[in-house]
């Protein structure tokens, strides 16, 4: 089978499309014919093994998995003898942040892994685009107690995480002010944000609004700069550690001080995220934002585009 392969850590130029043996499912696994996947920021971190801490997950000296990819959508081609929850022909999608070799024509996956069936009327591309960013977005809001009509500011509302976060907040009846570049203001308003700030024209940290939450989905701000935006017990969450990794320190210290605090959103339980996203896709409350599509053969270009930091929502790789 054809797959995107690398044997060392490095930039997109190290990726090759080459023939690899088709995997054989173990008794508890299914064999999946991959139709689509994304190239996302987690894939980029896994490709480069950056930050260094990634090496404890993806391989200390060289990649544990030569084939790249962290999410997938496709059709089950075969099932191991112990598999009970899925059958041949099921359309499924799934995610594993440490890598699952999905940038390939076929892959195997344990039935107990983070995998769910694709709802009726949802395409393979839409399903794949409802995994990585949506999982991290859900793992931001599941760290706080949301109450209808609270106010949240989302910085980076055009990213995979930010565009999912805006929609998850709207589904929870939160009033959202979103921040993005000028050319995407209408797009972000269409996701449900009531106010959209163009960060190229206005410093959102000087906004006069007071928010219960500031969520920085692209990690471009700091707690210190966002503090004036927060209500007395407001919460700041960023998808990044901050320029000096200070968000970890603040997350440990601020809960003990009372008042405004920082939470660091350690992501867990991707299956719970997928099950929620399946419900929201089914009820029309979530529409994944999709940017460009690339063929598997063009995957190095897809990585380069994602690494540019300019992608909107999700970048898809389709497998012919």
Ligand X SMILES: NC(=O)c1ccc[n+]([C@@H]2O[C@H](COP(=O)([O-])OP(=O)(O)OC[C@H]3O[C@@H](n4cnc5c(N)ncnc54)[C@H](OP(=O)(O)O)[C@@H]3O)[C@@H](O)[C@H]2O)c1
Of 6-14, 58-66, 107-115, 154-162: span binding ligand X (CB under 6 A): 154-162
Q: Is 156 in the site for ligand X (CB under 6 A)?
A: yes
Of positions 23, 159, 234, 270, contacts ligand X by CB under 6 A: 159
- Size of the residue set binding ligand X (CB under 6 A): 28
Q: Are 166 and 215 in contact (CB under 8 A)?
A: no
Of positions 196, 217, 229, 263, contacts ligand X by CB under 6 A: 217
**Residues in a beta bridge with 213:** 152, 235
What is the bridge-based pairing of β-strands 261-262 and 2-5? unpaired
Looking at residue 81, what DSSP letter applies? T
Residue 149, Cβ density class (10 Å: 0-12 exposed, 13-18 middle, ≥19 buried): exposed
Q: How far is 151 from 214, CA to CA, in rounded Å? A: 9
Residue nearest ligand X (C-beta atom) = 159
Q: Is 290 in the site for ligand X (CB under 6 A)?
A: no
Q: Is 33 in the site for ligand X (CB under 6 A)?
A: no
Of 10-18, 66-74, 157-165, 246-254: span binding ligand X (CB under 6 A): 157-165
Strand order from edge to edge, sheet including 261-262: 195-198, 175-180, 151-155, 211-216, 230-238, 261-262
In the structure encoding, which two tokens stand for residue 309, read together? 């930091």
Q: Are 131 and 94 in contact (CB under 8 A)?
A: yes
Q: Is 218 in the site for ligand X (CB under 6 A)?
A: yes
Please state, as a whole number, how many other Cβ atoms lie within 10 Å of the Cβ of residue 60: 9
Of positions 30, 160, 276, 302, contacts ligand X by CB under 6 A: 160
Q: Is 181 in the site for ligand X (CB under 6 A)?
A: yes
What residues contact residue 297 under an 8 Å CB cut-off, 6+ apart?
A: 17
CB nearer to ligand X: give 259 or 309: 309
Q: Is 234 in the site for ligand X (CB under 6 A)?
A: no
CB nearer to ligand X: give 55 or 220: 220
In total, the chain counts a number of residues equal to 320
**Residues in a beta bridge with 71:** 95
Of positions 117, 144, 219, 294, contacts ligand X by CB under 6 A: 219
Q: Is 191 in the site for ligand X (CB under 6 A)?
A: no
In the structure encoding, which two tokens stand for residue 100, read together? 């699952």
Of positions 161, 237, 276, 316, contacts ligand X by CB under 6 A: 161
Of 36-44, 67-75, 98-106, 121-129: span binding ligand X (CB under 6 A): 36-44
CB nearer to ligand X: give 74 or 267: 267
What are the CA-CA distances from residue 158 to residues 1, 43, 81, 103, 179 (Å)? 35, 18, 43, 24, 8
Of 1-9, 111-119, 213-221, 281-289: span binding ligand X (CB under 6 A): 213-221
Q: Is 240 in the site for ligand X (CB under 6 A)?
A: yes
Of positions 23, 59, 133, 270, contacts ligand X by CB under 6 A: 133
Interaction residues for ligand X, span 37-66 (CB under 6 A):
40-42
Q: How far is 153 from 160, CA to CA, in rounded Å? A: 16
Give min distance, CB of 304 to ligand X, in A: 12
Q: Is 155 in the site for ligand X (CB under 6 A)?
A: yes
Q: How far is 289 from 312, CA to CA, in rounded Å? A: 7
Point out which residues bind ligand X (CB under 6 A). Answer: 40-42, 133, 136, 155-156, 158-162, 179-181, 184, 199, 217-220, 239-240, 267, 309-312
């Amino acid at each position: 089978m054809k797959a995107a392969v690398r044997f060392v850590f490095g930039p997109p130029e190290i990726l090759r499309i080459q023939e690899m043996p088709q995997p054989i499912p173990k008794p508890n696994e299914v064999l999946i014919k991959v139709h689509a996947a994304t190239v996302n920021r987690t894939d980029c971190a896994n490709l480069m093994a950056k930050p260094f801490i990634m090496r404890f997950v993806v391989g200390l000296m060289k990649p544990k998995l030569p084939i790249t990819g962290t999410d997938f959508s496709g059709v089950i081609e075969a099932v191991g003898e112990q598999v009970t929850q899925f059958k041949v022909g099921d359309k499924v999608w799934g995610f594993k942040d440490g890598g699952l070799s999905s940038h390939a024509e076929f892959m195997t996956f344990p039935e107990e892994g983070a995998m769910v069936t694709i709802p009726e009327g949802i395409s393979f591309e839409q399903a794949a685009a409802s995994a990585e960013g949506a999982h991290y977005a859900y793992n931001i809001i599941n760290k706080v107690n949301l109450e209808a009509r609270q106010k949240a500011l989302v910085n980076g509302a055009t990213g995979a995480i930010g565009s999912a976060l805006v929609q998850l907040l709207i589904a929870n009846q939160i009033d959202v002010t979103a921040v993005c570049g000028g050319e995407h203001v209408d797009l972000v308003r269409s996701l449900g944000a009531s106010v959209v700030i163009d960060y190229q024209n206005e410093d959102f940290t000087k906004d006069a609004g007071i928010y219960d939450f500031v969520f920085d989905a692209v990690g471009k701000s700091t707690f210190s700069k966002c503090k004036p935006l927060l209500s007395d017990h407001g919460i700041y969450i960023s998808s990044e550690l901050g320029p000096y990794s200070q968000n970890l320190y603040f997350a440990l210290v601020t809960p003990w001080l009372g008042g405004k605090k920082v939470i660091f959103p350690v992501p867990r339980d991707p299956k719970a995220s997928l099950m929620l996203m399946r419900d929201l896709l089914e009820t029309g409350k979530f529409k994944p934002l999709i940017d460009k599509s690339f063929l598997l053969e063009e995957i190095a270009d897809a990585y380069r585009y994602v690494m540019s930091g300019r992608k909107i929502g999700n970048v898809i790789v389709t497998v012919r």
